[in-house]
Structure 1
Amino acid sequence: MLTLALDIGGTKIAAGLVDPAGALVHKTTCPTPKTDDAEHVWIALRQTIADAVEAAEGAISAVGIGCAGPIDSTAGTVSPINIPAWQEFPLRDRVAGVVLGARVVLAGDAVCMAVGEHWRGAGRRVGFMLGMVVSTGVGGGLVLDGVPYHGRTGNAGHVGHVVVEPHGQLCHCGSHGCVETVAAGPWMTRWALDNGWAGPPDADAAVLAEAAAAGDPVAVRAFHRGATALAAMIASVGAVCDLNCVVIGGGVAKSGRTLFDPLNAALADYTGLSFIRDLRVVPAALGGDAGLIGAAALASSAT
């Protein structure tokens, strides 16, 4: 039997079929509609689900949903910051009404990413890890003592909203100075453009990374600034949760050494406590498939 896995974010919606060994045997994606109408987003997701169900030929035993948050794991609702059309949207019940007879499990998308990397990726055999997505936003999920940690409402590990600049930029969440406002791709690019970078007005983090790799001083500063914010947050969460590994994926992480070199250099300045000095920060191994694989793992192991 196969597990249907869904990964829903502000940029794209993905559906996949995962076998019991954790192999992704089918995947389909579509852009997340930019709309104020909740039903338009649902229609896009429902079609993506239908495509996967057809490919499965009836062999689906469970459904795992990873969605951008906040979520309410008890009520089965989602209110993603980057999908404003969905506010307390009854996602779990809607999916259950389409995939009849299958167990449906809802979790945060970054929790699913962390579980996927822990099961099949860079976090295998790691006891205490933080999985992170650094992309249009910054998300995180925790695996503690080898077990996914969801917290009271399903939102544990929401590290993108750890405050690193108390008087910093206003974040989409309503707070100020969240690490997301410094290290997420659109925020880094905007900062670079505001500070004299000669990139195109519609540039994204990939273009900024190319400029930084080529030595553009403003682009380099933007990445160093973002990496330093990530390092401060990682050291803080590492101390609180006694972590031994952080796995980072997402579009910004694809910049490779342009991000990881300054991040590790800054991390050395923040990890003064003896028990986090050996905290490792490594790139994700599963790319954009980690969330699907993790969602499937959570659904297939649920009781």
Structure 2
Amino acid sequence: MGSAEFDPTAGAPAVAVDIGGTKVEAALVDPRGHVLSGTRRRAATGGATSSDGLDAAVLEVVTDVLTGNVARAAAATSGLAGIGVACAGPVDDATGLVTPINLPAWRDHPLRAVISAAPAVVDSGAAVVLRRDGVAIAMAEHWSGAGVGVDDMIAMVISTGIGGGIVLGGRVVPGNAGHIGQIEVSEHIGEPSLGSRTTLESVASGPHTVAWARSQGWSGSTGEELAIAVSDGDPIAQRAVDRLVDVVAQGICSACALLDVDLVAVGGGFARVTDDLVDRIAHRVSQHPLPYVASTRVVPAALGDTAPLVGAAAFVHRPDLLPR
């Protein structure tokens, strides 16, 4: 969904927070899933940042959103519904501890407690709900994106890493289930990822795809340059994307064989490295010998870079999508 102006008749907005390997972002999201105009705030994170530095970045953007003009107007009229936090995993839903693969400064870090204790959060009286970012993306696409009306689906993101979440029976699977980037794809050898050289993420994420192309003699250095090279017909860049299509399809087929879902929504910045990437992955999946795998619809995710924020807000606005 897009952005919207604050409408006090729509109900109390939630503060949505998305924490990843390169940035933390926060915004107000109303009960319709609209990110409210002028409320998005962002700060850098990064794998080398200290634990205290990461905490400071998160609390900076959360405080900025809570003390902004729109939040003050909401508090004076409809109030705030709560604070939903989506963080890279693993995440322990019960304890509020996080150990993100892409943020090594946090290990068993009490993120929920840190946010809950921030003065602006205490003053707001809003409760904090913390879950993994893949769970948020799956909830967002099911609520208002490509998975509307689909009870059994997977949402996945191809970006700096590869992550995802699962919806079964109309409810999201909680915890760390759906972390599709960490499944094994043993036919491929890539760069190390969490001690393994054979995970989907270590082979097919954006940085690892670029690294593979460079290892084959390509002279570029970024995903954007790779996309241009593919468009220009560079054979190494094209082989890199062929490899990406093959391994992502392999991972999707494995997940669908296990879960028998109806839909896989694929998003993330690197999913746009070519205009037809998702269509090519879908075609590869459709060739699987198991009919229930081959019939799975593989489609582009619909919400773009707002999905983690919309999903984090869904932790507050759509508890009916969470497990009973």
Normalising TM by the smaller chain, what interval? Answer: over 0.9
Give the residue type in structure 2 aligned to 1:282.
Answer: V
* Per-residue CA distance 1:134-176 (angstroms, 9 max, x = gap): 00000010011111011xxx10001001111267345321223
Asked if structure 1 preserves the Cα contact closer than 8 Å seen for 2:85 and 2:131, the reply is: yes
Query: Which of 272, 293, 297 is matched with 2:314 structurally?
Result: 297
* Cα distance change on mapping 1:227 and 1:166 into 2, 3 Å: closer
Amino acid at match of 1:50: T
Alignment pair present for 1:95 and 2:106: no
Aligned to 1:164, the other structure's residue is in SS state coil
User: Which residue among 31, 36, 40 is the counterpart of 2:44?
Assistant: 31
Instruction: Assess if the C-alpha contact under 8 Å between 2:134 and 2:164 holds in 1.
Output: yes
**144, 155, 178: which one pairs with 1:120?**
144
Residue 191 of structure 1: aligned partner: 212
CA distance in 2, matches of 1:166, 1:223: 16
Alignment of 1:77-96 (within 5 A): 77-96=97-116
Cα-to-partner distance string for 1:84-120 (whole Å, 9 max, x where unaligned): 1111110111111121222211111111011111111
Shift of 1:209: 1.5
Letter in 1 for 2:148: R
2:302 maps to 285
Aligned partner of 2:199 in structure 1 is 178
**Residue 44 to residue 249, structure 1, CA distance change in 2 (3 Å):** same
Please tell me whether the aligned partners of residues 279 and 298 of structure 2 are also in contact (alpha carbons under 8 angstroms).
no
Task: Summarize the Cα distance change of 1:69–1:288 in structure 2 as closer, same or farther, 3 Å threshold.
Answer: same
The share of aligned pairs that are identical, in percent, is 40
Distance 2:260 2:111 in 1: 33
Q: TM-score, normalised by structure 1?
A: 0.93
1:189–1:289 distance in 2 versus 1, CA, 3 Å? same
User: After TM superposition, which residue ranges in structure 1, 4 or more long, deviate above 6 angstroms?
Assistant: none
**Count of equivalent residues:** 296
SS in 2 for 1:88: coil
1:175-254 alignment, distance < 5 Å = 175-199=196-220, 203-254=221-272
Residue 6 of structure 1 corresponds to 17
SS at the partner of 1:22? coil
Equivalent residue, structure 1, for 2:4: none
User: Equivalents in 2 of 1:262, 1:302: separation in Å?
Assistant: 35
1:156 paired residue number? 177
Query: Letter of the aligned partner of 1:196 in structure 2?
Result: G
Q: 1:133 to 1:104 in 2, by over 3 A?
A: same
Aligned with 2:85 (options 65, 80, 83):
65
The TM-score normalised by the length of structure 2 is 0.87
Which stretch of structure 1 is more off in the superposition, 32-41 or 16-25?
Answer: 32-41
Which stretch shows the higher mean deviation, 260-269 or 77-86? 260-269
CA contact (8 A) 1:228 1:267 kept: no
CA distance in 1, matches of 2:139, 2:145: 9
Q: Secondary structure at the match of 2:16?
A: strand
CA distance in 2, matches of 1:68, 1:17: 20
Contact 1:111 1:142 in 2 (8 A): yes
Residue 108 of structure 1: aligned partner: 132
C-alpha contact 2:47 2:104 (8 A) present in aligned 1: no
Query: Which of 154, 178, 185 is the equivalent residue of 1:130?
Result: 154
The range that moved more, 251-260 or 107-116, is 251-260
Whether the aligned pair in 2 keeps the contact of 1:246 and 1:280 (CA below 8 Å) is yes
Deviations 1:185-234 (A, max 9, x none): 000000000101132xxx22121112112211100110110111000110
